[in-house]
Amino acid sequence: MKKFSVGLPIQEKSGFFENVIKNKDRIKEVYFSWGGFKSGRSAQTENGQLPYWEAQQRFLENLRLLHRHGIVFNLLFNANCYGEESLARSFFYEIGDTIEYATKNFCVESVTTTSPLIAKFVKANFPSLKTRASVNMEIGTKEGMEYLFDYFDGFYLKRELNKSLADIKRARKYCDENGKELYLLANSGCLNYCSAHNFHDNLVAHEKEIAKYDNAYLFDGVCTEFLKKRSEKFLERTNFVRPEDLPLVEEYFDGIKLATRVNSNPNLVLDSYLRGKYSGSIPDLLEPNHSGLFYPKVIENGKIPKEYFSKVLTCDKDCATCGYCEEISKKSTIILEKEEC
């Protein structure tokens, strides 16, 4: 069954498109943002390596390559904030023109968005496209899906519920009973219940405007500050599903999203999940990747016991008194020898 949804890298990576084509029988779709639209990541055509016009040309060439090989696409309008344009008629005209061009030239089957109004616009004007609620909307309950029932055909599960089998089953049951789809983001490196997550996503949405100013601060996310001090909390405070653990939950989802748009080695991510096995520093598979924060410590995936995920899937999540994840995190950590300068 085609399960994996993979992101078009913002900075082109050697061999990635060939890898997707080679494994297209297991790839459900490739997702991407368009041009200069605000997004949950940097703009797709502003990769810092090429002039805008050349980046745009390469972007279209890559889409055409994948299209020729029968790859279908999911188009993203998943910025956390569209600012003063959010309700503008001109903004929706631009979205409509973009979708019309993309669907005529490529096999775009669905749109993922954080905006209920963009979803409403798509359903009204492009009824053949499915609409999907972004993981950044943090939907994880029957109520959350019910409120947006008329807007979305599918939902990404709230990250924090990835390790709760009871919540996964409840969401699946609601979707089955109401003709909706359910999706999983497998390799997020974000902290659970991050207090600054929305703030950070807003900064990302407006990074182009922000870059024009003499800024007083650089904000890398509170995850960076926290994990530098508390690396032993890495497993407890994150929500990723390892390649080895995916078989325990994949039956409940219509698709598995792999975050590969800004990962430095998207081939590693894709290959590891296709194989269902990985040996190395587990943060290297994630987006964001926290490996550099822990150096010279490495959290070695091969040292995490097989029973780890099945245990946390059904535990009572009383992390304050349990200590199991912290113990596993410590036991799976190795210390490298620092290189001499």
Model confidence over 76-104: pLDDT tens digits?
999 999 999 999 999 999 999 999 999 99
Whether residue 41 is predicted with pLDDT greater than 80 in this model: the reply is no
CB count within 10 Å of CB 97 equals: 10
**Range among 39-48, 242-251, 287-296 rated most confident:** 242-251
In a domain, 156, yes or no: yes
Rounded to an integer, what distance in angstroms lies between the CA atom of residue 18 and that of residue 27? Answer: 13
Q: Which residue segment(s) compose the domain that 186 sits in? A: 4-294
Which sign, positive or negative, has the C-alpha torsion 113, 173, 3, 234?
positive
Model confidence over 102-157: pLDDT tens digits?
999 999 999 999 999 999 999 999 999 999 999 999 999 999 999 999 999 999 99
In a domain, 281, yes or no: yes
In a domain, 228, yes or no: yes
In a domain, 299, yes or no: no
Model confidence over 168-189: pLDDT tens digits?
999 999 999 999 999 999 999 9
pLDDT at 40: 73
pLDDT at 338: 64
In a domain, 173, yes or no: yes
CB count within 10 Å of CB 215 equals: 9
Whether residue 340 is predicted with pLDDT greater than 70 in this model: the reply is no
Rounded to an integer, what distance in angstroms lies between the CA atom of residue 120 and that of residue 118? Answer: 5
CATH number at residue 229: 3.20.20.70
Rounded to an integer, what distance in angstroms lies between the CA atom of residue 299 and that of residue 331? Answer: 9
The domain tally of the chain equals 1
Whether residue 341 is predicted with pLDDT greater than 60 in this model: the reply is no
In a domain, 283, yes or no: yes
Average pLDDT, the chain: 93
* Whether the bond into 296 is cis, omega within 30 of 0: yes
3-state secondary structure 225-252: HHHHHCHHHHHHHECCCCHHHHHHCHHH
Dihedral-angle region of residue 166 (phi above 0 means left; psi in -120 to 50 means alpha; beta otherwise): alpha
Q: Facing residues of 24 across strands?
A: none
- pLDDT tier for residue 51 given thresholds of 50, 70 and 90: confident
In a domain, 18, yes or no: yes
In a domain, 310, yes or no: no
- Over range 271-280, report the average pLDDT: 96
